[in-house]
Every structure is written in C-alpha cells, then in structure tokens.
C-alpha cells in the first residue's frame, strides 16, 4: 500500500504539502514539534504515492513517499 511519512521535527508547518495533496491525505497535527510549529501529518489512509507532497515541500527530507509495487506495475 502506498504511503507517506512526514518527519514531524523537520516540518515547518507551511502547509504546502497539505494544499498540494490531490487525495486530502494530509492535515495539520494537533501537536507542536521541537521547532515550535504544528507539523503536517497523515490524516487518512488513501495515499496513492503520487509524490506531489514531496515535490511541494521546501524542507529537504521532511517527506518520504512510498509507492506500492502493485500500483507501479498497473500504471506502466
């Protein structure tokens, strides 16, 4: 299953990934990270592994996207 991982303590809460996600997978966390920001987090489990959140994030390494191998074969 495709999924996204957000490193909470690297996120600066700009919300660009949240706005960019076509499936509405991401949202704002209720917690505050070590930098003092409300980071983005995964709210629903419907990630398609498109990577748009990854490319919209200005913070290198804060977001990782993993695409399911079955989905990769179907898209080729």
Bridge partner residues of 3 (DSSP): 66
C-alpha 76/C-alpha 74 separation (Å) is 6
Structural fold of domain 3-75:
Alpha-Beta Plaits (3.30.70)
pTM of the model: 0.86
Taking only the tens place, the pLDDT of each residue in 4-47 is 999 999 999 999 999 999 999 999 999 999 999 999 999 999 99
Instruction: Give how far the C-alpha of residue 73 lies from the chain's centroid of Cα atoms, to the nearest Å.
Output: 22
Domain map of the chain by residue range?
3-75
> Which contiguous run of DSSP H or E holds residue 74?
helix 69-75
């Amino acid at each position: 299953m495709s999924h996204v991982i957000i490193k909470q303590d690297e996120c600066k809460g700009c919300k660009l990934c949240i706005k960019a996600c076509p499936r509405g997978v991401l949202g704002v966390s209720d917690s505050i990270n070590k930098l003092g920001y409300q980071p983005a987090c995964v709210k629903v489990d419907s990630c398609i592994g498109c990577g748009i959140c990854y490319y919209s994030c200005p913070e290198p390494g804060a977001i990782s996207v993993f695409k399911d191998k079955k989905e990769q074969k179907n898209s080729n």
